[in-house]
Amino acid sequence: MEKTLLLTSGRCAWGECFACGWGRLIGPPPSMHRLKNILDEKFREFKKEKITGLKVFSSGSFLDDKQFPAAIRRYLVKKCIEHGIRKLTVESRPEFVTPERLADFSGINLTVAIGLEVADNELLKKYHKGFTIEDYIKAAEILHAEGCKLRTYLMVGLPFVENHAATVKKSVEFARKHSDSIVLINTFPHSAAPIFDMWISGKWKPLDRKQFNDIVRNYPDCEIEFDNFAFVPKFHKEKQEFIKGATEKQLLHPHFEVWQDYFVRFYDPPDGLDIALFIPCAFRKPYRNSRLHRAIFSMLEKMKIFRRLHVIVISSPGVIPYEFSNHYPFTSYDWPEWEETPEIKKRYIEVVQRRIENYLKAHGRHYKKIYSYLKPDSESYAALCNACKSLGIDIVNCLSDETYEKIKGEKNPLALKEALDDMKHVLEKG
């Protein structure tokens, strides 16, 4: 069995790669005592299992003395040997691969993983990789001369690349000549890296699973990593803003567009929640604190169908699956209805319809039935109906026209008992 171990210490000596956020993190300075304690604790856990190989991820270079002193490298090797672990993989930039450092691993089968990313010096320069393919070749030669193996990471879907398939082909063919194993990794926008800003500004987009698979299926000898961490668009505090207003600028705000792209191409609706219920947003954020949403959920939670309901908000950001309602920017916007002009209402319907259509094209098959609980005269309801009509999807509104006629002059009519009773009745009828 092979295990992985995340061991961070200090900061990557380079820290400039365009898509890397980990390398920019300022870790605590290396302390022999702390690192030894972490290793001791991990190896105590390992005792219970029969482990033959260990991969150490270090967000930088395990061979960099500033991150990991030689004594720690030797201590890790000693622990591995004591536990019968014969294969060890560590990560490093090429400049730290020297015979002297590799000597610290004597007694174990060592593989060093190098993130080459792409076999093209022009692209490496644009990517701010800080080394060239010649540096990589030199490291490969030293590794092989010292009896070690080389594992090469290549990125698929990099920015600045015009033809991803051709670039990956060239990189794989190059890496095969020097590597013992290759991993093809999808380029994801880490929020601390400049690539995230490219996604926000619409200059680059990550490849979705199908686009990625269409390229990597040609390389059965390579390992594949589509998404190695639970990815959601995370905006760092300094990038967040309060998106207020009822104009085209707020409606098409790039932070909303990025999330809608995520919901369509990377998100999967939760298993088991196979009935969709579209509801309106609320002025108070997070929505769950509003009177309207408290009223809706206090009714829904008592119903048997609740276990299967996937509640989705429709608002100026577009489609918001409820489990994301606590995320920025859905907690940080305001669309003041009293500022709406007839033109912006029309645009709202067009834009939100497009976002709903995209969502339902991607996920419509997940739902056995689709309901809405929206004001029948609202722009959100018009957008939803238009989207469903254009896709040939049936939708049931849980609020009858008769009930709405009676209560529409009241404040917050959807929070009233008459309206909620309509919703309950329609959902229970099934």
- The verdict on 93 binding ligand SF4 (CB under 6 A) reads yes
Distance CA 167, CA 170 (A): 5
- The answer to whether residue 328 forms part of the interface with ligand SF4 (CB under 6 A) is no
- Alpha-carbon distance 217 to 228, whole Å? 18
Only segment of 15-23, 160-168, 175-183, 354-362 that touches ligand SF4 (CB under 6 A)? 15-23
Q: Which is nearer to ligand SF4, 12 or 35 (CB)?
A: 12
Smallest gap from Cβ 61 to ligand SF4, in A, equals 7
Q: Closest CB to ligand SF4 among 192 and 393? A: 192
CB nearer ligand SF4, residue 12 or residue 184:
12
The reply to whether omega before 329 is within 30° of 0 (cis) is: yes
Determine, following the binding rule CB under 6 A, whether residue 102 of this chain makes contact with ligand SF4: no
Taking the least distance from each CB to ligand SF4, the nearer of 196 and 373 is 196
Helix axes 379-391, 342-363, angle to 10 degrees: 40
Q: Which stretch binds ligand SF4 (CB under 6 A): 12-20, 31-39, 297-305, 365-373?
A: 12-20
Choice between 19 and 388, CB closer to ligand SF4: 19
DSSP string, 325-362: TTSTTTTSEE--GGG--HHHHHHHHHHHHHHHHHHHHH
Contact 39, 76 (CB under 8 A): yes
Work out whether 12 is an interface residue with ligand SF4 (CB under 6 A): yes
> How far is residue 97's CA from residue 63's CA, in Å, rounded to a whole number?
7
Quote the least distance from Cβ 303 to ligand SF4, whole Å.
Answer: 49
Does residue 115 touch ligand SF4 according to CB under 6 A? Answer: yes
With CB atoms as reference, the residue minimizing the distance to ligand SF4 is 23
CB of 134 to ligand SF4, least distance (A): 17
Give the DSSP letter of residue 6: E
Instruction: Identify which of residues 155 and 407 has a Cβ nearer to ligand SF4 in the complex.
Output: 155
Q: Residue 109 Cβ, how far from ligand SF4 at the closest point, in Å?
A: 23
Q: Which is nearer to ligand SF4, 73 or 93 (CB)?
A: 93
376 binds ligand SF4 (CB under 6 A): no
Contact 51, 1 (CB under 8 A): yes
Q: Which of residues 51-70 bind ligand SF4 (CB under 6 A)?
A: 59-60
Rounded-to-integer distance, Cα 303 and Cα 177, Å? 62
Pick the closer one to ligand SF4 by CB: 59 or 260: 59
Sorted by sequence, the CB contacts under 8 Å of residue 177 that are 6+ apart come out as: none
Examine residue 158 and tell whether it contacts ligand SF4 (CB under 6 A): no
Sign of CA dihedral 384, 386, 388, 394: positive
Distance from C-alpha of 30 to C-alpha of 66, rounded to nearest angstrom: 7
Q: How far apart are CA 207 and CA 266, in angstroms?
A: 9
Out of 5, 8, 10, 23, name the contact with ligand SF4 by CB under 6 A: 23
| CB-nearer residue toward ligand SF4: 199 or 359 | 199
User: Closest CB to ligand SF4 among 155 and 264?
Assistant: 155
Q: Is 15 in the site for ligand SF4 (CB under 6 A)?
A: yes
Strand segments, DSSP code E, in 36-107 are: 53-57, 87-91
Q: How far is the CB of 25 from ligand SF4 (least distance, A)?
A: 9
CB of 23 to ligand SF4, least distance (A): 2
CA distance 37 to 54: 18
Does the footprint of ligand SF4 cover residue 17 (CB under 6 A)?
A: yes
Helix, strand, or coil here: 22? helix
Size of interface with ligand SF4, in residues (CB under 6 A): 12
Residue 14 as a binder of ligand SF4 (CB under 6 A): the answer is yes
DSSP 106-140: TTSEEEEEEEEE-S-HHHHHHTT-SS-HHHHHHHH
CA-to-CA distance for 27 and 9, rounded, in angstroms?
6
Contact yes or no for 131/93 (Cβ under 8 A)? yes
Closest CA to 198 of 95, 128, 93, 130: 128
Q: Give whichever of 114 and 222 is closer to ligand SF4, judged by the CB atom.
A: 114
Distance of closest approach, residue 20 Cβ to ligand SF4, in angstroms: 3
| Position among 20, 200, 419, 423 found at the interface with ligand SF4 (CB under 6 A) | 20
Q: Does residue 315 interact with ligand SF4 by CB under 6 A?
A: no
Q: Which residues bind ligand SF4 (CB under 6 A)?
A: 12, 14-17, 20, 22-23, 59-60, 93, 115
